[in-house]
Amino acid sequence: MTTLVICIDRSGAIGRATNVPMPVAGWEAVRSLVTDAGLSDPEDASVNCLLESLRVARDLRDDREDAVVAVVSAESDTAVGADRSIAAQLDDLVDRYDPRAAIAVVDSAEDEQVLPIVESRMPVDSVDRVVVRQARDIESTYYLLKQFLADEQLRSTILVPFGVALLLLPALFYWFSPAEAVAGVAGLLGAALLYKGLAIDRFVAGMPERVREALYAGQVSIVTYVVAAGLALVGGFFGVLAASELGDPPRLVEAMEFTYTAIPWFAVAGVTAAVGRLLDELIRDEGIRTPYLNLPFVIGAVSLVVRGFAGYVLAQESVIDPFDPIGVGVTPVQRLAGFIVAGIVVSLVGVKLASDVGTETLEDVIDADRKTDRE
């Protein structure tokens, strides 16, 4: 009596991939079908189902049992048509081999729906469900993680900040509230990712070399940069001092008072740094490039506009009195308009002077800087 080992393919993938008339029966025929199906689509789970059918038939033969391996595959796209084609193929196998029992090999829940059709024609002793050990998505994720862990730069960018954050989290939970601890860790991770994402680490790493080259080259801008940093610190100090003297006003008013007091110092610091770069251009005796000549005027114009808006807010809150040197009753709006007009005038003067004296465009400066970085 023959046991029929049937590989069931209700989706019809095997038949479409190989273009072989179904059913296919016999050891050599199914082995050839496995090769054709595997070459057509190596990722199809039906290939594993075919190999499992061969394995089951081999094991039965090793136990001295008469076993025949066969494959049935749907030949229609509709559910009813697929089931009827499989039923006809099963009838063909029954007429050919007159099996006493069958072992169904399936690889999906869809294939299992055909089992009642098989049972209506022969007894089913066993159902062998093939489960692929490594699904494609899981395997791809594994290899992506493996590649990620092998990349030293990615590890230092992602894993190190997260590791430090996880180490700090228990201590932060101990000393602070959960909300403050989570906020602190989130801020740390954000700062670390921005530090790498904005390439600040490269800028910091190259800073000593640039400073050394500037010192040896005798650039005036080194001194002016130091002076600008000092002026900015002084401006920040006076801004904080002025904001603290207001008592307990709204946060916006404090910010405006800080800006109103500190912005002149910041503007002078920016102009000082820009003048130092201009002096370096003059020392080179290569002409003054347009962007460097225009930069001090841009800083002055922006400072005027920002101070005007800060003064407008403070005047509305009666923190300062509108500037009225001739006693004509200047309103906060008029004061703001005066600062805006002054900023525009300064900017126009800078553009006119740069166009008359400057020798290069901003694109030329960017190209020169890129060339210097490559060298």
Please report the DSSP string for 182-239 in residue order. HHHHHHHHHHHHHHHHTTHHHHHHHHHHHHHHHHHHT-THHHHHHHHHHHHHHHHHHH
What span, in angstroms and rounded, lies between the C-alpha atoms of 219 and 257?
Answer: 36
Which mean pLDDT values do the consecutive 10-residue runs of the chain (375 residues) have? 90 88 92 90 85 93 91 89 93 92 89 91 90 60 66 71 82 83 83 77 76 68 85 90 80 85 90 82 62 80 89 77 53 83 87 67 49 50
Global pTM reads: 0.46
Q: What's the token pair of residue 50? A: 């075919």
Please report the pLDDT score of residue 139 as a whole number: 53
The domain spans of the chain are 3-133, 153-198, 199-374
What is the total residue count of the chain?
Answer: 375
Please report the pLDDT score of residue 111 as a whole number: 87
Please report the pLDDT score of residue 367 as a whole number: 54
Return the half-sphere exposure (C-beta side, CA atoms, 13 A cut-off) of residue 274: 19
Helix-then-strand count for the chain, H and E: 16, 5
* Residue-by-residue DSSP string for 55-124: HHHHHHHHTT--EEEEEEE---SSHHHHHHHHHHHHHHHHHHH--SEEEEEESSHHHHTTHHHHHTTS-E
Q: Order across the sheet with 67-73: list the strands.
A: 24-25, 67-73, 3-9, 101-106, 124-129
Element (H, E) at 9: strand 3-9
Instruction: Give the bridge partners for 70, in sequence order.
Output: 6, 25
The residues near 278 (Cβ < 8 Å, ≥ 6 apart) are 288, 292, 293, 296
Please report the pLDDT score of residue 16 as a whole number: 87
Element (H, E) at 154: helix 152-154
